[in-house]
Amino acid sequence: MNNNYPQYNEGAGSSHTSNSPQRASNFPIFDQSASNSNSNVKGNELHRASDLLMAVSVCTEANFSRIADLADTAMDELIKAALDGDPLWMPQQNEEAESYYTLMDIMKMVEVGEPPSSSLLDFELFNTKSDAESNINNNTNLGFKDNQQQQQQHYLQTEFSRQTEFVKMDPLSIVGFLMDLEQWSLIFSDIVSRAAILQMWSSMGPGGTYDGTLQVMTAEFQLASPLVETRESYFGRFCKQLAPYTWGVVDISLEDLFPYPSIGFCRKPSGCLIQACPDGISKVMWVEHVEVDNRCVQPMFQPYINSGLAFGAKRWVSSLVRYCIWQTTLEAKSTSTINGDPGLVRHKSESLGTNKTQVSILQAGRLSVLKLAERMTRTFYKVVSGSKENPWMKIPIPGPHDIRVMTQKAKENDPGRPPCTSVIFATSAQVPNNPNEVFQFLRHEKSRNKWDILSFGYVITELACIINGNDSRNRVSIIQVNSSPRKVEVFYLQESYFDATGSYIVYAPVDLFAMSILLRGGNPDNVAILSSGFVVLPDNLKMNGQEIEADGSIVTVALNIVDHSITERIPFDSMVSMHRIMNETVASIKQAFQVQQF
């Protein structure tokens, strides 16, 4: 890169008898060496020295017994925190009536392995706050903790949140996703930057279910900004069928049982209860309970993180709901919509590159577009976060924003990336407009030439889009950039999604040849793309009844480009150009709202 702005890169385009963990002598131990990575990270990158020590430590029978006892106690804590006096609705076989079971009923089912009598038991409501903040490890020998650890624990603050949602998926499928490392990392790719299973004990309940399965895991949890540190933890994950039609999956940190380099984050009993409802619907009651040292959080992000939206239960459930909606979109047989106008539009591949603005996507092409968009967005989450695997460095140039930069080298035999080094630079800035307005402005193709310096003076058209769910703003779009009526400069594939915890707009340039192949149903894995985009988070938060509203926004901008001048290090001239591009992009966004409200 030189001091001139870069040009378009067209080359980148059940029974209850086995619902408690058994002793190691009665269990097969499964070697997870072949499955210690998620879909984004190689296994050898995850096996740090501490991970290896942990994997060796948990293999003994004595340590398994300690982990199993901790997990069983954590499941009881999760049940109490999730229900907290709420009645548990459960359909009964061969009965038309509905039954309502309270917390004590569920605990009785766990203890005796059978449904309770029809009479409901009275009980005193569980005090969520006092019990959730209690130490469930009182009966465990925690060993000696040095003064440094005790001092760091002094700064830990409790975050506790609970969210209930109905999702269009059966309980066994949800349990399967939570217990399968690859699927869990995929569904929650916006939260999980890396994960590994260090050890697993499984009884494999009736029908091959995960009833009684206990895993020891390590994971890093992220927020989509390089300015926010990730949260890293060792924890045990335990799955148990609590009653007919009801499952529980709980996580509990193991830092108190095994040495760990950092104690700045501790995962108290967290997870979800999942119960079946009619018509293939599941009720998911999610609890997040952690202790964390937030002293290093930048002031800009403190209100958002303290609100519980950043790493709380609402965000986990939102990701699960979004996945269910996405699966429905993938399975749908409808065609794309054109400029928001539903209906079938004729398509000829040769119309690409002309002044025609109506394109329909055949079913094969529709699937290819959606799968490429999924990879694009998942990659964006990975490259924009503050994960320890991202070697971010601060651009050493004074300015109004903290701009970070890193490089990524092309991997061998990876057709999904351009065969050259790319550079990603990103920053986060506050915008004094609510997230809905900012999201609408950034996602709309008519606004693109107001913030994209490469689109200034060009005509931007949404060639086709696929609506994702019931909200038309949530969509996958094919955007065409024309410098003249018959000259196409570039196509962009763009995905946008909005919910209460935050929103994103992710895009990547795709050249004419690759787009034509994609629309014919070609393999999306062979299309080379570099993901760029925006993350819009709520700022200036306030409560309106039971809902959290925001007057302002935190906008993270991440740009991913090819820079042929980079070899071993980033030239200073390239840093100057990136610094200018980023500052101008942020200034353009703020200026657009000063001129006109969107």
Farthest-apart Cα atoms in the chain, separation: 77
Tell me which residue range forms the domain holding 373: 361-595
The domain boundary residue, chosen from 309, 328, 347: 328
Q: Is residue 460 part of a domain?
A: yes
Quote the pLDDT of residue 393: 95
Share of the chain above pLDDT 90, in %: 54
Cβ 526 vs Cβ 518: under 8 Å: no
Cβ 330 vs Cβ 524: under 8 Å: no
Q: Is residue 588 part of a domain?
A: yes
Quick one: 80 and 203 in the same domain? yes
pLDDT tens digits, residue range 582-593?
999 999 999 998
550: its two tokens: 């925001």
Model pTM score: 0.81
Phi, psi angles (nearest 5°) of residue 331: -85, -15
Q: Is residue 139 part of a domain?
A: no
Rounded Cα–Cα distance for residues 450 and 438 (Å): 13
More confident residue, 30 or 453: 453
Averaged over 23-39, what is the pLDDT?
35
What rounded mean pLDDT belongs to the chain? 78
419: its two tokens: 């065969």
Angle subtended by helix axes 61-83 and 103-112, to nearest 10:
150
Quick one: 68 and 201 in the same domain? yes
Quick one: 207 and 282 in the same domain? yes
Quick one: 277 and 383 in the same domain? no
Q: Is residue 227 part of a domain?
A: yes
Residues 6+ positions from 371 with CB-CB distance below 8 Å: 524
Averaged over 470-491, what is the pLDDT?
89
Residue 106 reports pLDDT greater than 90: no
156: its two tokens: 């830990």
Q: What would the DSSP string read from start to end of 285-320?
A: EEEEEEEE--TTS-TTTHHHHHTTTTTSHHHHHHHH
Q: Is residue 320 part of a domain?
A: yes
Cβ 528 vs Cβ 418: under 8 Å: yes
Could you count the other beta carbons within 10 Å of the beta carbon of residue 587? 14
Quote the pLDDT of residue 596: 59
Question: 98: part of which helix (H) or strand (E)?
Answer: strand 98-101
* Closest alpha carbon to 480 in 469, 471, 491: 491
Provide the number of structural domains found in the chain: 2
Quote the pLDDT of residue 477: 96
518: its two tokens: 């994609």
Quote the pLDDT of residue 58: 62
Rounded Cα–Cα distance for residues 506 and 476 (Å): 10
Quick one: 537 and 405 in the same domain? yes
pLDDT tens digits, residue range 283-341?
999 999 999 999 999 999 999 999 889 999 999 999 999 999 999 999 887 655 444 33
Q: Is residue 345 part of a domain?
A: no
The domain boundary residue, chosen from 311, 328, 345: 328
How would you classify the pairing of strands 157-167 and 98-101?
unpaired
Residue 90 reports pLDDT greater than 60: no
DSSP assignment, residue 108? H
Q: Is residue 114 part of a domain?
A: no
Quick one: 468 and 545 in the same domain? yes
Cβ 79 vs Cβ 103: under 8 Å: yes
DSSP assignment, residue 41? S
* Closest alpha carbon to 565 in 393, 390, 420: 420
Cβ 284 vs Cβ 166: under 8 Å: yes
Quick one: 394 and 541 in the same domain? yes
Could you count the other beta carbons within 10 Å of the beta carbon of residue 232? 20
Rounded Cα–Cα distance for residues 210 and 200 (Å): 11
Residue 179: CATH number of its domain? 3.30.530.20
Quick one: 462 and 507 in the same domain? yes
Could you count the other beta carbons within 10 Å of the beta carbon of residue 240? 28
Quick one: 431 and 545 in the same domain? yes
pLDDT tens digits, residue range 108-124?
455 444 443 332 222 22
Quick one: 425 and 375 in the same domain? yes
The domain boundary residue, chosen from 307, 328, 349: 328
Q: Is residue 269 part of a domain?
A: yes
The amino acid present at 554, given as its one-letter code, is I
Handedness of CA 297, 300, 301, 304 (dihedral sign): positive
pLDDT band at 132 (very low <50, low <70, confident <90, very high): very low
Quick one: 526 and 421 in the same domain? yes
Quick one: 366 and 319 in the same domain? no
pLDDT tens digits, residue range 502-536?
999 999 999 999 999 999 999 999 999 999 999 99
Averaged over 339-347, what is the pLDDT?
33
